[in-house]
Amino acid sequence: MADSLVSVDRALRLLLLFHEPQQGLRVNEIAQLLNVHKSTASRLCAKLASMNFLERDDDDIYRLGVSLARLGTQVSITRSLIVASGRVLGALANNTGETVNISQLDGDRPLTLAQREGEYAANEENWIGKRDQAHASATGKVFFAFNRDAELPRSYPRLASRTLTSSKLFEAELATVRGRRYATSVSELREHLNAVAVPIFDTSNNCVGALDVSGSDARLDARRLVFLGTGPLLAGARVIERELAQRMRDAVPDPIERTSPVGLEHLALR
């Protein structure tokens, strides 16, 4: 265990040696800067390069690789989604009385990043940090319908009375979701728990987030789900998309605090 931690420490310190995106270092320079033997530095570089955290050119010079760029982009998107959705989540929770969440795809499941509770949701579950089964959740259906990198689930366990339990049923549902631009879950993830979700797109038209409302089937019946999916949730998603594009374009901290509340009036429907 101790040896593993030493290797992790060295690998992280190695990556931190690069202060500029296009800075290049040779193995002997890395060994000297880390105060390790050249063979140790060579093994570290080779391992990091095999995972695309480093790349090596024809002159045996190492530079930062694309995996770090992907991680950086993902961290930026995650933070941007949380910040950009803050006012929208609050407005929807206040005006629907239900639980409202913002999620992103984490591997093959949706991960809840932030949540607001309305008046009816005081004693309901906190979903933050939890990963839902994609085939049984409205958010999962949104990601598998609209995210270009999502791969279909390998299994479809029954979680409630109306869970979709086969790839054939799930793919048919995704076709419906693509056609109407929102997804529902009706006693599929939990008994008597209903939800509706809409996609949040980035500037390349890829789904990077999902905005959803969930609550008891006694309140969120079929008619209510359609209303939310085609009205307030859709309006909220458009507001978040504009905020997200602004953050990604300008890379300034928390612009949500200084932007005008354009679009929020469309969320004030119950």
Dist. CA 186–CA 142, nearest whole Å? 14
Among candidate residues 26, 48, 64, the one where a domain is terminated: 64
- Strands, E assignment, 21-159: 54-56, 62-64, 99-106, 109-117
Domain assignment of residue 26, given as a range:
2-64
Dist. CA 97–CA 199, nearest whole Å? 21
The residue whose two tokens read 């979680």 is 159
Q: Are residues 111 and 30 in the same domain?
A: no
Helical axes 2-15 vs 38-50, angle rounded to 10° = 80
Dist. CA 184–CA 221, nearest whole Å? 11
Burial label, 220 (beta-carbon count in 10 A; 0-12, 13-18, 19+): buried
Among candidate residues 64, 89, 107, the one where a domain is terminated: 64
Residue 55 φ/ψ, nearest 5 degrees: -130, 145
Q: What is the CATH number of the domain that holds 135?
A: 3.30.450.40
Q: Are residues 116 and 81 in the same domain?
A: yes
Q: What DSSP designation does 164 have? A: -
Among candidate residues 16, 31, 64, the one where a domain is terminated: 64
Q: What DSSP designation does 25 have? A: B
Q: Are residues 18 and 86 in the same domain?
A: no
Q: Are residues 7 and 114 in the same domain?
A: no
Q: Are residues 187 and 249 in the same domain?
A: yes
Buried b (16+ CB within 10 A) or exposed e, 25-53: bbbeebbeebebeeeebbebbeebbeeeb
Query: What is the chain's pLDDT, residue by residue, as a tens digit (270 residues)?
Result: 556 777 888 888 898 898 776 789 999 999 999 999 999 999 999 999 998 889 999 888 998 887 776 666 566 677 778 888 889 999 999 999 999 999 998 888 899 999 999 988 756 678 888 888 999 999 999 999 999 888 888 899 999 999 999 999 999 999 999 999 999 999 999 999 999 999 999 888 999 999 999 999 999 999 999 999 999 999 999 999 998 888 766 654 444 443 444 455 556 554
Q: Are residues 263 and 224 in the same domain?
A: yes
pLDDT at 250: 65
Q: Are residues 46 and 116 in the same domain?
A: no
Q: Are residues 17 and 116 in the same domain?
A: no
Q: Are residues 119 and 81 in the same domain?
A: yes
Q: Are residues 174 and 101 in the same domain?
A: yes
Q: Are residues 242 and 196 in the same domain?
A: yes
Q: Count up the domains in the chain and report the number.
A: 2
pLDDT at 265: 56
